[in-house]
Amino acid sequence: MVRLVSRRCTGCHASARWAPGLLVLLGLATHLIGLRHPAEVTFDEVHWGRSVTAYCCTGERLFDVHPPHGKLLLTLGAVLGGYDGRQSFESIGRPYGAQLIFWLRLMPALSGVLIPLLFFLFLRGVGGSVATAWLGGLLLALDNAFILETRTMLFDGILVASTLGALVCLLAVERARSSHVAWAWTVACGALAGLVVGTKFTGLTVWVLIAAWLGSA
C-alpha cells in the first residue's frame, strides 16, 4: 500500500513538471503556425489596426470606449516588425503585406500561448489535482473560439491572460515562504490587475474578485 501511494505521488510530481511545458508547446503550435492566414483584414482588426497606425506612426487621435494598454501592446508587436503605417484598414478584406501580418497578430497570439498554462496554474492554485488542471488547460488550448480570438489582432486574449495572471499571482502570495517573495507576487498581481483594467473597463471585475478573496482570507 505504501509503495502504491509512493508511486502515485511520484507520478503526480512528474506530471506537474511536464504538463505546463506540453501546454506551452501546444499553444505555440496552435497559435504561431499559419498565423499569417487569413492574409486580409478580419473582423475587428479593421478598428484596432487603425489604432495601431495612429499610435505608432501618424499620431492621429482616435476615440473609442476602451483604455489604451491593449492597443499599445498590439502596437508594440507592429513596431517590432517594422510597421510603417502604410497598411490600409478601411474595410474588412483588405490584403495584408506578407511579413506585416505576423507581427500585427503576435501579441494576441502570445497571449493565447500563455492562457492555457495560466489556467493550469490557477486550477492548481485553488486546490485542483494535476489531472484536473491538465484537462482544463488542454480543453482551453483546443477550444476553437479561443484559438480564433487569439490568432487575430484583437486584445481580448491580452485581457484574459492578464486576468488569469493576476489571479495566479494572488494565489501565489499565500504560498510565499518569505515576505520578500510575497511582496514580489503582490507587485506582480497589482501590475497585471492594472493591465486588465487598462485593456478593457470590464477588467474592473478582477479587482472585485481580488477584494473578495482578500476579504475572505
Q: How do residues 29-53 score in pLDDT, each as one tens digit?
A: 999 999 999 989 999 899 999 999 9
Q: Is residue 8 part of a domain?
A: no
pTM: 0.88
Residues spanned by the domain of 107: 37-216
Name the grid cell of 15.
506530471
Higher pLDDT, 6 or 146: 146
| Domain presence at residue 10 | no
C-alpha cell at 57: 506612426
pLDDT of residue 17: 77
Determine the average pLDDT of the residues in 152-164. 95
What is the pLDDT, as a whole number, of residue 3?
A: 40
Q: Is residue 28 part of a domain?
A: no
Cα–Cα distance measured from residue 21 to residue 23, given in angstroms and rounded to the nearest whole number: 5
| Rounded distance between C-alpha atoms, residue 136 and residue 118, angstroms | 11
- 155 lies in some domain: yes
The tally of domains found in the chain comes to 1
Q: Is residue 188 part of a domain?
A: yes
Is 94 in a helix, a strand, or coil?
A: coil
Cα–Cα distance, 90 to 217 (Å, whole number): 51
Tell me whether residue 21 is in a domain: no
Whether residue 1 is predicted with pLDDT greater than 60 in this model: the reply is: no
Q: Is residue 7 part of a domain?
A: no
Residue 217's pLDDT is 67
Cβ count within 10 A of residue 9:
10
Bin 93: left if φ > 0, else alpha if -120 < ψ < 50, else beta: left
Classify residue 93: in a domain, yes or no: yes
CB atoms near residue 54 (< 10 Å): 16
